[in-house]
Structure 1
Amino acid sequence: MSKKPLPISTICAWKTRIDPTPDYQRPPAWSRKQKQLLIDSILREYDIPKMYWRSVSRDDGVKYEVIDGQQRLRTIWEYQAGEFALAKNIDPVNGIACAGKKYADLDLDISTIFDAYPVDVVIVDDAIQTDEEDEVRDMFLRLQNGTTLKAQEKRNAMPGQMRDFIKDVASHKFFENCKFTNSRFAFDHIAAQMVRLEMAGEPTSVRDGDLNKMYDGNRDFDPIGKVAKKVRRVLDYLLRAFPDKTPELERYNAIVLYCLSSTLIGSYAHSGTEEALAKWFIEFETERRKNETLDEEERDPQLIEYRRLTSQSTDSEESIRARLEFIERRFFLAYPDIEPLDETRIFTPEQRLAIYRKNDGHCQLKIKCNGERLAWADWHADHIVAHSNGGKTVVSNGQVACGPCNLVKSNKPDPNGATAS
């Protein structure tokens, strides 16, 4: 590392070469009052904390990434660009009035103080490679010690593949259709809770301490493993159910809807149920909100209890379990015809032989081929009625398929009226 006192004029000139928010950084969070106080301190030539930058070489021309000092750096840039003015009640600087003034309005002597002010910048000179990213994240967390970082902002800077996977999941379009915004990594927080619930396979506590342990204990998490694939599959299902902005999708609702959708995908003939889920949920929320407007003696006590569960200890196992049981009961009462999946998904060797002989070894799909005859070691036993649609794993529901045809079927009707497994 090396320390360089850089004048603010240089820091502003280098703006396009500096990335203030690499992915472990939190978003801009300072208030106008905090920004004004920093600029006032600079004009009075008080010391301000040093910044830490990492030297990099990127294709977009960026030469430095900010490890610490993002809020101060942005404030300096914004004031120099005229995006805010000083507070209206500050005292003169060196006898010169500055109250309420933007940078362009400052007296020349005062703007010179601003331009020449030396900011201590510690440069991590070595271009740290990918295998040393953990050191940068660790430095960021150490430098933030004692500041008001939220729990998810700290987790976002933790090393490991779990953090990277959740960061990727948080970019799923489903979250954009929820009511809450991504302020201070809210999407990452909800995504992390969903991943923990999926890993547990049942309602469990998703408090910050639990999420911290999950991040730390799963640094080698497999982003293409069983859990990861299921998480993405559930979010894809939810996006099909809610393709547009849905104000009813509060944080606590997103969690229980994830759990319900995961159950549907894992245990029920769920194909085509997305519209039913969305319709039921919006009707339920409408009923629940209307219930709150009724006189106390006319309110549904079950809906009152559900509302209590959404407002107290919402991240506890007890709250999530109770809300999910309530939601599942109501949903399946509204749609009693949704069938459980056949517990057996894979055809037995005896069933495979019977299916092969039944079709004389010829591909029945005929999507990529003309029904060619396949060798015994080179065919797929395919469900005619998809397993996800409630199709049974029995010989009468099995057919021969070649690999290319089976892979492109993708839940669409084939020329013979079959659907994908």
Structure 2
Amino acid sequence: MKCRQMTIGELRDTYKNGQINLAPPYQRKPVWKTKQRLLLLSSLFNGIPIPALIFHKQFHTGTLKEIYDVLDGKQRIETILHFIELKKIRDEGRLWVEFINPHTNKRDYLFYHQLDNKKVNKEYENILEKFWTYKLPIIEYEGDLSDFFGNNVASKEVFVRVNSTGSPLKKHEIRHAKCAGLFFKLGDMLEEKYMNLFVNQWRVCSSTDTKRYLLHEFILELCVAIHLNIYSDRRKKLDELLSQYKWTGREIVFVRKGFNKIIRCVKDIFPNDSIKYTRFKNKSDFYSLFVVLLQLLNKGYVLDSRKDNRIIGKFLSEFSKQIQRLDPKVKKFVIPNLPESEQKLLPYIISTRQATDSLRNRETRHKYLMSVLKEGFILKTKDNTRIFDSSVKDLLWLLQKQNKPRCPNPTCNEKCKKYLTYDDAQVDHKYPWSKGGRTTLENARLICSSCNSSKGNRQLV
């Protein structure tokens, strides 16, 4: 390990040469606010010392260059690069520096492109040249650090220790630094795919949550529920599955498909992003609804009937309004006198007050939502048998009254074969099996192979 200095001009050139890696696997997302970035720039332009940047130097065989992984100082470097217009920070506008004009004694706010103007720079006594020559303290090491006993300390462990003394790391930021693998990458993929939905459309999470990996953590919690097919106690199972469990590619695909399917179901229940007007935009309520829908799907209940889902959505919206009206009446240690219909809602309300992610409170919400959705709406289950018996085709063929029966072409398929032949005809459900259609003779019909392959799960007409 060695200590040295690097001017801001040298930092700029090193970055432009592709030698500074701001995003090693253990790094976190930007968390600084504009106020913190402006304060840093003020310090740099006023010659005030700032903390050292910590680099881990490695030789990259692909580019034949020395690469500097940033262990500490990412936000300081990004602020400088954003200010000089080399790197754009997401959701951050142009940064400025506040000066007192040496000639007019008035306060000025200048952007980089203004300082880069020769006339302005000269007016401010060549301030930009002084900025480029500002010396940044650097701590640099190669390979692994060693402790006093000669044991190696990995770079990701250095990152966790160093950053625990600055802007405090959230628990999931530490997980991000220490954990890598298929499951964590699945969280990355789903977060990227659904960030706009969860943050801007449904408002289940905030933009701040995304910066501190809290959306990523929440998505992985939902993935844990899919893997286990049940709710879990806080994030204990998440930690276990990240640190100890060896995931297979097949398990990752199973979880990913399950997640996508439930999200489609929620969209159907709450069309036009109407979930944001209900209490189910709260993480605790959303989690419970997600797990209930998961278990109903796994038990064979039909959840892709748009008509039925709209009814469920209206009920959940009314339920949400009722809870919101009742919530203020329920005070700590004081249970008001309420009608019997409202008394039944008390356990649910109490379970959303404190420790909402505890096993007991998740169980309370789960039982209530499961009972009203499963028993209250009498959701249909899918037939255990999906494939028709071979004798059904013979029966249907015998029941045809024409010698040359026409294909009903239920979906107006342009490639329909028009007429049925025994060899080509296929048996399919009139009402789709996926929507609760029975695998019985009454729900069976002959169509040509082309129409059967194009039909999907649409109801035959």
TM bucket, shorter chain: 0.7 to 0.9
Measure the CA separation in 2 of the matches of 1:67 and 1:379.
Answer: 65
Deviation at 1:197, TM superposition (A): 0.9
**Which protein shows a greater Rg?**
2
* Residues 1:284 and 2:345 aligned together: no
Cα shift readout 1:326-374 (whole Å, capped 9, x = no counterpart): 12223346x53432333x1333xxx521123234499967444325547
* Residues 1:253 and 2:285 aligned together: yes
Q: 2:52 aligned to 48, 53, 61, which one?
A: 48
SS of the residue 1:382 aligns to: strand
Worse overlay, 234-243 or 41-50: 41-50
Equivalent in the alignment of 2:161: 145
Cα shift readout 1:116-160 (whole Å, capped 9, x = no counterpart): 1344486999xxxxxxxxxxxx74464233523222233445321
Cα shift readout 1:186-207 (whole Å, capped 9, x = no counterpart): 33222111111111112322x3
Equivalent in the alignment of 2:30: 28
Deviation at 1:289, TM superposition (A): 0.9
So what's the TM-score if we normalise by structure 2?
0.67
What does residue range 149-168 of structure 1 map to in structure 2 within 5 Å? 149-157=169-177, 158-168=179-189
Equivalent in the alignment of 2:273: 244
Equivalent in the alignment of 2:402: none
Go from structure 1 to structure 2 and tell me whether the alpha carbon gap of 1:47 and 1:234 turns closer, same or farther (over 3 Å shift): closer
SS of the residue 2:336 aligns to: helix
Counterpart amino acid of 2:30? Answer: P
- Are the equivalent residues in 2 in contact too, given 1:178–1:250 (CA < 8 A)? no
Q: 2:262 aligned to 229, 234, 238, which one?
A: 234
Equivalent in the alignment of 2:131: 114
Measure the CA separation in 1 of the matches of 2:108 and 2:173.
Answer: 33
Of all paired residues, the percent bearing the same amino acid is 18
* Residues 1:387 and 2:433 aligned together: yes
Equivalent in the alignment of 1:135: none
- Are the equivalent residues in 1 in contact too, given 2:22–2:69 (CA < 8 A)? yes
- Are the equivalent residues in 2 in contact too, given 1:313–1:319 (CA < 8 A)? yes
Equivalent in the alignment of 1:8: 8
Q: 1:220 aligned to 243, 248, 265, which one?
A: 248
Q: 2:377 aligned to 336, 339, 353, which one?
A: 336
Go from structure 1 to structure 2 and tell me whether the alpha carbon gap of 1:282 and 1:21 turns closer, same or farther (over 3 Å shift): farther
Structure 2: tracts of 5 or more residues without a match: 86-93, 144-153, 399-404
Go from structure 1 to structure 2 and tell me whether the alpha carbon gap of 1:357 and 1:145 turns closer, same or farther (over 3 Å shift): farther
Equivalent in the alignment of 2:401: none
Counterpart amino acid of 1:40? Answer: S
SS of the residue 2:250 aligns to: coil
Cα shift readout 1:225-277 (whole Å, capped 9, x = no counterpart): 43332221111111233332614311112111212222343332322233223
Measure the CA separation in 2 of the matches of 1:294 and 1:159.
Answer: 46
Counterpart amino acid of 2:206? Answer: T
Cα shift readout 1:46-73 (whole Å, capped 9, x = no counterpart): 5512245889899xxxx98965332121
SS of the residue 1:50 aligns to: strand
Go from structure 1 to structure 2 and tell me whether the alpha carbon gap of 1:121 and 1:305 turns closer, same or farther (over 3 Å shift): same
- Are the equivalent residues in 1 in contact too, given 2:187–2:220 (CA < 8 A)? yes
Measure the CA separation in 1 of the matches of 2:56 and 2:365.
Answer: 46
Go from structure 1 to structure 2 and tell me whether the alpha carbon gap of 1:400 and 1:314 turns closer, same or farther (over 3 Å shift): farther
Measure the CA separation in 2 of the matches of 1:317 and 1:238.
Answer: 23
So what's the TM-score if we normalise by structure 1?
0.73
Two-structure CA RMSD over aligned residues (Å): 4.4
Measure the CA separation in 1 of the matches of 2:351 and 2:224.
Answer: 20
Measure the CA separation in 2 of the matches of 1:385 and 1:364.
Answer: 17
Structure 1: tracts of 5 or more residues without a match: 89-96, 126-137
SS of the residue 2:428 aligns to: strand
Q: 2:190 aligned to 169, 172, 185, which one?
A: 169
Go from structure 1 to structure 2 and tell me whether the alpha carbon gap of 1:228 and 1:37 turns closer, same or farther (over 3 Å shift): closer
- Are the equivalent residues in 2 in contact too, given 1:67–1:140 (CA < 8 A)? no
Go from structure 1 to structure 2 and tell me whether the alpha carbon gap of 1:202 and 1:48 turns closer, same or farther (over 3 Å shift): same
Measure the CA separation in 1 of the matches of 2:224 and 2:320.
Answer: 26
Go from structure 1 to structure 2 and tell me whether the alpha carbon gap of 1:381 and 1:57 turns closer, same or farther (over 3 Å shift): farther
Cα shift readout 1:276-302 (whole Å, capped 9, x = no counterpart): 232222211111111134486355344
Deviation at 1:308, TM superposition (A): 2.0
- Are the equivalent residues in 2 in contact too, given 1:174–1:235 (CA < 8 A)? no
- Are the equivalent residues in 2 in contact too, given 1:174–1:236 (CA < 8 A)? no
- Are the equivalent residues in 1 in contact too, given 2:373–2:379 (CA < 8 A)? no
Go from structure 1 to structure 2 and tell me whether the alpha carbon gap of 1:301 and 1:53 turns closer, same or farther (over 3 Å shift): farther
- Are the equivalent residues in 1 in contact too, given 2:28–2:173 (CA < 8 A)? yes
- Are the equivalent residues in 1 in contact too, given 2:26–2:176 (CA < 8 A)? yes
- Are the equivalent residues in 1 in contact too, given 2:21–2:68 (CA < 8 A)? yes
